[in-house]
Structure 1
């Protein structure tokens, strides 16, 4: 930071320009809501622009006392404006936004990019006021609010408290298990909200994708049962089952990012190609007969689900069970590898893939870098898991269901395995 006796004119000019732009950006939004006459709001375009530039100028002096005095002055203006407000519903949004805009100006002297990002975020928050109010008061349900608060508490409070060290060799890291649990809950929540927004148009696809983030095998079984019972066409249900495999593929990247990011350069191309093929094939199957299917929950049904059940954004018990399975299989693979070496890694991957692919690959990622042996273990796990899904599909939905599902299931799996052997 340069003082008044040795000003860096180029830095000062850039800082003031950024501050002016940030102030104008926020001020334009506030000007549209300022109103007119005695009940108009505290500040508009010019006030926000000047306030932001004032903050930048105060920061450029290098004197903390001036910065604090400026902040106190802006806060005082906001307090006086609020006390003089005679409207029926006085708020403090503009007053708080004005103070934050001053701080954006101060921040622009230290980091122009951060100041600009904060100004954009502030403008977005101000602009979506009406929609945000409708979302919270009319669209968001009580159970969804509770789930959201629980998820935020887990991510912001729970994860930082978990120890970040393996409890046994390189396995059973509490922070890693907690991160995987948070990822599962976040994906379920996002899929739930997306399904509510688009349920009337893409119910089968969104239900399959949402369920796939929890268990693709369970989704395939559920849709197979619906096809066997005749409550839904086998082709559409097979398409939904194949779309759940898209979630399986994407979770491979998420698990790798959480457990061992060194796998990402090896996985990203095979996973994205396989997921794209499964998505296109599954959507083609679903689109053919989706008009005959009624889907109201995370799995296809012909009856309406109770509203209380459908309000939940995620299944905490289900996510905890998946996370526990991940940890158990990871411990199994680590123990087999410690006992039998590379052969143990292969055996553990196969056993884990029969139950849950992500538990198996998480163990492979945790215990081995992307070398040739561990890559073979991952390829074998993918093939075994595809075989397990095929058996599940036949057992739940019969031959009519399997013949629609199997071609896309095996083609996208084999393509992913072939690219995994070649890529990276």
Structure 2
């Protein structure tokens, strides 16, 4: 019985290796060309290489497995050295060595081996699209910002200590995670601006700016309206759409600071964002001229995100969180509420971070956190409305205030009822 099971397992590994080799080999056969300058290997070579890797692994002879890998590597180096096509590449040589490894892997984990074969085949088949994406579509600023974001995620974040430096606040890794979240949000908004038409450019730009500061966005759009740029409805629509970012960023901050709050905040925040999005989108759409339907063009070196602004916001979130925590230690719940309401006059994101870090749902602090958050949202809505009135005039102020107060009340009522 044991022999029968072992034989069935061996045949399954060989069949899986053959399938992986044929999958990658068929793609290479279609692109290897013909004549004296054709590429190194095609469907038969890939299938045999995968079978060779599986066979060497099944024989459980490490020396034979190593010799086979060395042979495939020497074969690739020889083919590259003899290439006379004028445009040598090493893709096929690397793929041939990789299919040998996949063949050997089929004896240990057939599912993983098959998944790797599919991914490798997809990369091989997408050659033209990937080249076009890297050389034509991708802009210099996006490459630069992508490297910065990758360094933050892969190098800086893992090196940061994951422990609070004071009580329950000032966690260095949490600060880096907040920064990464802000940069990712700005990056997705930038990509959206590139993919959408100019008719949506104002709305999406306002939404992206709202992730930095909705209050500042409302003020800037109001000042532009006073200067004669844009229409009242379009500017007011963009201002209200920036409030969508406030609610989405609330969920992002909650997921980073205190994920336990997400189930309780998700429905009110999304309903509030929907109200702001519908009202702001309607204003922006009806206020834009018909000519705005042409494709949007961004400068070639447009950055995906503003690192300095995002870093300042992350530091502000952390500083206000520490300040509210300190007031809570000094004056108790009254101190926490006072600090949160004062901070809400300028920025709500920092207040959210500070409050959610104060206690999770089900803890003794949770009721005070909810009440303070609702009060802070109302104070912040009044602050935004006053800013709209001061920066853009009466018409702009009333149009913005209607949307800001409506979406805030939806959130407050939703959180209160839940």
TM range (shorter): 0.7 to 0.9
Query: Residue 262 of structure 2 corresponds to which residue in structure 1?
Result: 264
Tell me by how many angstroms 1:179 deviates: 0.9
* Pairing partner for 2:398 from 391, 395, 403: 403
> Do the aligned partners of 1:59 and 1:67 also contact (CA within 8 Å) in 2?
yes
Q: Flag the structure with larger Rg.
A: 2
CA displacement, residues 224-265 of structure 1 (integer Å, 9 cap, x when unaligned): 222222211111112212222222222122212221221222
The reply on whether 1:394 has 2:389 as its aligned counterpart is yes
Q: State TM-score, norm by structure 1.
A: 0.87
The reply on whether 1:314 has 2:305 as its aligned counterpart is yes
Query: Residue 373 of structure 1 corresponds to which residue in structure 2?
Result: 368
> Do the aligned partners of 1:52 and 1:104 also contact (CA within 8 Å) in 2?
yes
Q: Which 10-residue stretch deviates more, 333-342 or 265-274?
A: 265-274
Whole-angstrom CA distance in 2 between matches of 1:19 and 1:265 = 45
RMSD after superposition: 2.9
Q: Which 10-residue stretch deviates more, 105-114 or 324-333?
A: 105-114
Give 1:219-234 correspondences, 5 Å limit: 219-234=217-232
Query: Residue 346 of structure 2 corresponds to which residue in structure 1?
Result: 355
CA displacement, residues 332-383 of structure 1 (integer Å, 9 cap, x when unaligned): 1110111122222222322222222111111112221122222222222222
Evaluate the alpha carbon distance shift between residue 88 and residue 218 of structure 1 in structure 2; reply closer, same or farther with a 3 A threshold.
same
Q: Which 10-residue stretch deviates more, 25-34 or 378-387?
A: 25-34
Whole-angstrom CA distance in 2 between matches of 1:294 and 1:343 = 51
Evaluate the alpha carbon distance shift between residue 235 and residue 17 of structure 1 in structure 2; reply closer, same or farther with a 3 A threshold.
farther
SS in 2 for 1:355: coil
Whole-angstrom CA distance in 2 between matches of 1:330 and 1:258 = 13
Query: Residue 172 of structure 2 corresponds to which residue in structure 1?
Result: 174
Query: Residue 243 of structure 1 corresponds to which residue in structure 2?
Result: 241
Query: Residue 380 of structure 2 corresponds to which residue in structure 1?
Result: 385
> Do the aligned partners of 1:361 and 1:378 also contact (CA within 8 Å) in 2?
yes
* Pairing partner for 2:132 from 129, 134, 143: 134
Evaluate the alpha carbon distance shift between residue 107 and residue 251 of structure 1 in structure 2; reply closer, same or farther with a 3 A threshold.
farther
Query: Residue 301 of structure 1 corresponds to which residue in structure 2?
Result: none
SS in 1 for 2:164: coil
Q: Which 10-residue stretch deviates more, 380-389 or 329-338?
A: 380-389
Query: Residue 147 of structure 2 corresponds to which residue in structure 1?
Result: 149
Query: Residue 31 of structure 2 corresponds to which residue in structure 1?
Result: 33
Query: Residue 329 of structure 1 corresponds to which residue in structure 2?
Result: 320
Whole-angstrom CA distance in 1 between matches of 2:58 and 2:413 = 59
CA displacement, residues 159-183 of structure 1 (integer Å, 9 cap, x when unaligned): 1111111111011101000111122
CA displacement, residues 56-79 of structure 1 (integer Å, 9 cap, x when unaligned): 454455554444333333323322
CA displacement, residues 294-323 of structure 1 (integer Å, 9 cap, x when unaligned): 79xx9xxxxx99x58x62222221112111
Query: Residue 184 of structure 1 corresponds to which residue in structure 2?
Result: 182
Query: Residue 80 of structure 1 corresponds to which residue in structure 2?
Result: 78
Give 1:35-50 correspondences, 5 Å limit: 35-50=33-48
Query: Residue 215 of structure 1 corresponds to which residue in structure 2?
Result: 213
Evaluate the alpha carbon distance shift between residue 77 and residue 320 of structure 1 in structure 2; reply closer, same or farther with a 3 A threshold.
same
Whole-angstrom CA distance in 2 between matches of 1:13 and 1:378 = 63
The reply on whether 1:345 has 2:336 as its aligned counterpart is yes
Query: Residue 275 of structure 1 corresponds to which residue in structure 2?
Result: 273
Q: Which 10-residue stretch deviates more, 60-69 or 219-228?
A: 60-69
Whole-angstrom CA distance in 1 between matches of 2:395 and 2:291 = 17
Tell me by how many angstroms 1:28 deviates: 4.0
> Do the aligned partners of 1:232 and 1:293 also contact (CA within 8 Å) in 2?
no
Whole-angstrom CA distance in 1 between matches of 2:384 and 2:152 = 32
> Do the aligned partners of 2:32 and 2:41 also contact (CA within 8 Å) in 1?
yes
SS in 2 for 1:205: helix
For these two proteins, the number of residue pairs brought into alignment is 412
Evaluate the alpha carbon distance shift between residue 13 and residue 312 of structure 1 in structure 2; reply closer, same or farther with a 3 A threshold.
same
Evaluate the alpha carbon distance shift between residue 70 and residue 199 of structure 1 in structure 2; reply closer, same or farther with a 3 A threshold.
farther
> Do the aligned partners of 1:232 and 1:292 also contact (CA within 8 Å) in 2?
no
Evaluate the alpha carbon distance shift between residue 280 and residue 10 of structure 1 in structure 2; reply closer, same or farther with a 3 A threshold.
farther
Q: Which 10-residue stretch deviates more, 323-332 or 23-32?
A: 23-32
Query: Residue 413 of structure 1 corresponds to which residue in structure 2?
Result: 408
Whole-angstrom CA distance in 1 between matches of 2:312 and 2:291 = 30
